[in-house]
Amino acid sequence: MQQRIPPGFIQDLLARADIVEVVGQYVELKKTGTNYKGLCPFHGEKTPSFTVSASKQFYHCFGCGAHGTAIGFLMEHAGMGFVDAVKELARRYGMTVPEPDLDPQQLRQIQQQRSLQATLVDALQTADGFYQHRLRHSERAKNYLIARGLQGQVAKKFGLGYAPDDWQPLAGAFANYNADALVQSGLVVARDAAGDTLDPQAESFASAQRRYDRLRDRITFPIRNLRGEVIGFGGRIIDQSEPKYLNSPETAVFHKGEELYGLFEARSAISRAGYALVVEGYMDVVALAQFGVEQAVATLGTACTAQQLQKLFRHTGQVVFSFDGDTAGRRAARRAMEQALPLLSDTRVVKFLFLPAEHDPDSYVREKGAEAFEREIGRAQPLSEFLFSSLFDGVAMTTAEGRAQAIHEAGPLLSQITAPALLGQLVADLARRLEMPATELREVLRLSSPSRKPSAPAESFGMRGMKTAPRVRGGREALRAFAAVPKDPLRQLLPLLLSQPELWWSINPAQHALLSLEPGPLQGLVLTLESILEDQPELSAAALWEALRAAGHAPEEVLAESPDPLELDEAAAKQDLLAILSRLERATLKRRQDELVAGGLVADADRTEYRSLALRLKEIDQAPRG
């Protein structure tokens, strides 16, 4: 049962927490003026560009663009979920997260679930220590790892162990081998009198007639959650028996579709490298780490899931999948792509690496070396290329029938993509390959047209002949360049309001209405922001971000496209806000004029309205520009 935390508690927590203190536990910060600076923990750098604001209570990196609140920092840096990050922050500041408003029976269920989870983790930690101890005393197991080229240091880092070749070796680690927790944790298999295996999540094990260790004569790989707790195991057989790998079953603490092997160990390396590498086997992860490629994780014997991808995207904006180049590898890549499509944003990248058929990552890095392997990663195929190669594979693109088949296959895939810029690029690219207009392709695919992004004539803003400039770093120049880009006005406005919520009260009710009526993918965020600020006028930027996130929005994705928020001067930001609102009003009036003209201006009321709109447009165009 997912715990819901009252928004008021989040605001109180952020008001009490000091983000400088929170970040300072992980990053060495030095005071520079009113802010603090240090080396960014989210990307490798030698010159500090990571800034923490004590007054605004959020951080921002001028190098990679990472930003967030104290809660967001724990989520991104420690990889915690939202609830866990709130609980951790509350613990640090002596606050108690309120229990949800549930009836006594529901509260008892939550408490029982927490108690069970703690018991299972304790059992798994005990087993982990036992397996590691037995590895140190098993020449056979050590010789196997040596033959695979593994060194003791990397085996210790990943906690590799050995499950002895016996039916009940864990009886030597636990005082009560018949304890339910050993079955519930997946360490022990219980069978009834008929020989049927009992589900570890069963309510009772009274019918158990026989018990034995699940992992026997296997190298053990502890699977850790992001708190470093052992929640399950993978076991690799030493000889040639089957199955080669055996994983813990689903339990109250282990859900294989949500976890990734090696993520706990790889977090820092993923931040340094700027991407996560997803491989298929535990040994691949361990071997790559030994050769210095430490940003690798592995799925747990299944295809990559959306939950696993979401977890990775909390740590990095780029994920590279490594698959065999054979037919099975291509099928697995296709499944991974389909899981990734709904999660893509205009700042997230997914790539596919296909190694030669005779190699997996383990064998490749041993034979060719880490540099050669990283060169292969650099040549990984972008999702867009893999998408098109999948669509066109075996299709006769020189024929009308073949092109129609490609369009038919493309529809369900492209319809899952919500990232507007990426979708626009993919549709345009596909249209070129099909030799048809992009607008016609959108109609055939039944994709909504990109929202109109009207802007005032360049001369109205003193920008005659100006070309779109690359993003300028910080300060007034960044604001001016940002405001000059003819893009979705909500994407221009929202970063200003998210960085300085007090600006909301500097615009009048008519302008509020103008914002809430502006169509586009961000309209829902605007309406939620309005509701939050109307209810809590004094809300800080940090608290506003978390309130929006709790409502299901992603303020960080909007801020990623804005000027650096810590460089925003209030007066300059207000001026830009009013300028963008003026542009928005002008575009809205022009749209309405176009609608009246399309109707023929037959009625007197239509002609009167048209003249009124023209007068207002003239007022806007003649207004002084700051």
pLDDT in tens, 498-546: 888 888 887 777 777 777 777 777 888 888 888 888 777 777 888 888 8
What's the CA gap between 38 and 422, in Å, rounded?
33
More confident residue, 100 or 261: 261
Which helix (H) or strand (E) element contains residue 324? strand 318-324
- Residue at 116 is within a domain: yes
How many residues are present in the chain? 626
CB of 327 closer than 8 Å to CB of 321: no
Q: Is residue 258 part of a domain?
A: no
Both tokens of 272, joined, read 């340094």
Same domain for 468 and 609, yes or no, is yes
Cis bond upstream, residue 243 (ω within 30): yes
Whether 566 has a pLDDT exceeding 70, the answer reads: no
| Alpha-carbon gap, residue 486 to 471, rounded angstroms | 14
Lookup: tokens for 4: 């819901």
Residues 275 and 360 in one domain: yes
CA 545 to chain centre: 16
Q: Is 469 helix (H, G, I), strand (E, B) or coil?
A: coil
pLDDT-derived band at 303, boundaries 50, 70, 90: confident
Mean pLDDT of 462-483: 36
Give 540's DSSP letter.
Answer: -
In a domain, 554, yes or no: yes
Q: At what angle do helices 70-78 and 7-16 cross, to 10 degrees?
A: 90
**Distance linking the first and last C-alpha atoms of the chain:** 53
Residues 511 and 597 both lie in one domain: yes
Structure tokens at 223: 């699977």
d(CA 67, CA 59): 5
Residue 98 lies in a domain: no
Tell me if 221 is assigned to some domain.
Answer: yes
Judge if 487 and 578 occupy the same domain.
yes
Alpha carbons 483 and 623: distance in angstroms, whole number: 17
Last residue within a domain, chosen from 65, 92, 119: 92
Residues 277 and 339 in one domain: yes
The number of distinct structural domains making up the chain is: 5
How far apart CA 169 and CA 215 sit, in angstroms, is: 10
Same domain, 115 and 234: yes
CATH at residue 36? 3.90.580.10
| pLDDT tens track for 307-361 | 999 888 877 889 999 987 778 888 889 999 999 999 888 778 999 999 987 888 9
CATH code, domain with 153: 3.90.980.10
Q: Dihedral through CA 269, CA 272, CA 276, CA 281, nearest 10?
A: -20
Query: What is the DSSP pairing of strand 67-68 with strand 58-61?
Result: antiparallel
Instruction: Check pLDDT > 90 for residue 83.
Output: no
- What is the C-alpha to C-alpha distance for residues 551 and 545, in angstroms, rounded to an integer? 10
As beta bridge partners, residue 50 has 38, 61
According to DSSP, residue 46 is labeled S
CATH of the domain at 276: 3.40.1360.10
Cα gap 9→176, rounded to integer Å: 43
User: Is the residue at 254 inside a domain?
Assistant: no
Tell me, yes or no, whether 256 lies in a domain.
no
pLDDT at 565 over 90: no
- Residue 100 covered by a domain: no
453 pLDDT higher than 50: no
State whether 181 and 239 are in the same domain. Answer: yes
What is the reported pLDDT for 620?
Answer: 76
Dist. CA 581–CA 587, nearest whole Å: 10
Question: Which CATH number goes with the domain that contains 534?
Answer: 1.10.860.10
H and E: helices and strands count for the chain: 26, 16
Beta carbons within 10 angstroms of residue 9's beta carbon: 15
Q: Which of the pair, 259 or 490, is modelled with greater confidence? A: 259
Query: Is residue 476 very low, low, confident or very high in pLDDT (cuts 50, 70, 90)?
Result: very low
Same domain? 26 vs 88? yes
Give the separation between CA 333 and CA 303, rounded to whole angstroms: 9
pLDDT band at 36 (very low <50, low <70, confident <90, very high): very high
What pTM does this model have? 0.66
**398 and 383 in a common domain:** no
Is residue 83 located within the same domain as residue 166?
A: no
- What digits encode the pLDDT tens for the residues 570-594? 777 787 888 888 888 888 888 888 8
480 shares a domain with 598: yes
Residue appearing with tokens 């099909």: 434
Name the pLDDT band for 200 (thresholds 50, 70, 90): very high
Q: Of 92, 127, 143, which marks where a domain is finished?
A: 92
Sign of the alpha-carbon torsion through 21, 23, 29, 34: negative
Amino acid at 583: R
Q: Which domain holds residue 323?
A: 263-388
Say if residues 497 and 555 touch (Cβ distance below 8 Å).
no
pLDDT of residue 420: 82
Q: Give the pLDDT of residue 174.
A: 96
Beta bridge partners of 232: 223
Note whether 283 and 214 are same-domain residues.
Answer: no
**Taking a C-beta distance cutoff of 8 angstroms, is the pair 544, 13 a contact?**
no
Give the range among 37-46, 377-386, 468-477, 609-618 with minimum mean pLDDT. 468-477
Predicted local distance difference test score (pLDDT) of residue 360: 87
Cα separation, 54 vs 542, in Å, equals: 11
